[in-house]
Amino acid sequence: MNGFNLRGRSIVVDSDLSREEIHGLIETARDLKLKLRRGEPHAYLTGKTLAMIFQKPSTRTRVAFEVGMTHLGGHALYLGPNDLQLNRGETIEDTAQVLGRYCDAIMARVFAHGDVERLAAHAGVPVYNGLSDMYHPTQALADLLTLTEKLGPLAGRTLAYVGAGNNMLHSLLLAGATVGLHLRVATPPAFGPTPEVVAVAKGLARRSGSRLTLTADPAEAAADADAVYTDVVASMGEADTPERRAALAPYQVTEALMARACPDAIFMHCLPMHRGEEAAAEVADGPRSVIFDQAENRLHLHKAILALTVR
């Protein structure tokens, strides 16, 4: 593993990381991925423990962090909704201080973003946002790893996001703008990204040379894009209403929409997916889909986060 490190650092929002730090995470993840495939031991965290707080169900986040910690020689402790005293009124602050004295890092998948912020403020150990109502940085960082593998250097490349403005889009805006990725975002006017997040992303884009385009037209967003990304119609915790479905129906990623992108453009989705809703099955399962490469890369990027931040 290279000498780059983020010892003691939390990752609560994508903008917690600089361009150089994101590139360092990506390169470390690529190195760890190669070591795993070669069967080379990389038990950098022997004797270390990760606490994993889950207020929401999870497949990729839980498995990637738990398996990743095992590969690194450490131990991951699953703490579900009924495993902590939080459901009996113990405060986030008290929970953070207790877990910080037992464990070397905390990953939290929560409903309210403020819960992750409070954990990070009081734990005294690195805290990672495994998903909140506002951001999904661990997924976005893994997506940048996938984009790097498929496209090469990201600066100047174009990612089109088509669908609902949500936590996934927020993280893609911040992480993508930080590394110089051009972002074209097509959302229904009533279901766009949070203006405050867009303002931060625009500031990051000015510093990196990224171009950020917001539109209501999926075809405009996808035109000549290097990658087309979408997410579910309604994320966990969001109201899945008839009005929402009607507004998002024209934003389904179809083969016709993919034909607007570059001939070798890739299709991305963070999963879980509902084929026939946000994306057509022939796109999701077609030759340009990299959805399972994205899922695998959660493991390698999460291992990089752990290896570089745990003291």
Catalytic amino acids? 109, 136, 139, 231, 270, 298
Phi, psi of 58 (to 5 degrees): -160, 145
Positions of E strands within the chain: 49-54, 75-79, 105-109, 127-131, 158-162, 182-186, 212-215, 227-230, 266-269
Residues ≥6 apart with Cβ < 8 Å to 246: none
Pairing of strands 158-162, 75-79: unpaired
Four-residue CA torsion sign, 30, 302, 62, 267: negative
Phi, psi of 107 (to 5 degrees): -110, 135
* Contact between residue 251 and residue 186 where contact means Cβ atoms under 8 Å apart: yes
Q: Give the integer Cα–Cα distance in Å for 299 and 116.
A: 21
* Contact between residue 127 and residue 152 where contact means Cβ atoms under 8 Å apart: no
Q: How many CB atoms lie under 10 A from the CB of residue 272? A: 11
Q: Give the integer Cα–Cα distance in Å for 119 and 95.
A: 8
Pairing of strands 227-230, 127-131: unpaired
Q: Give the integer Cα–Cα distance in Å for 271 and 9.
A: 27
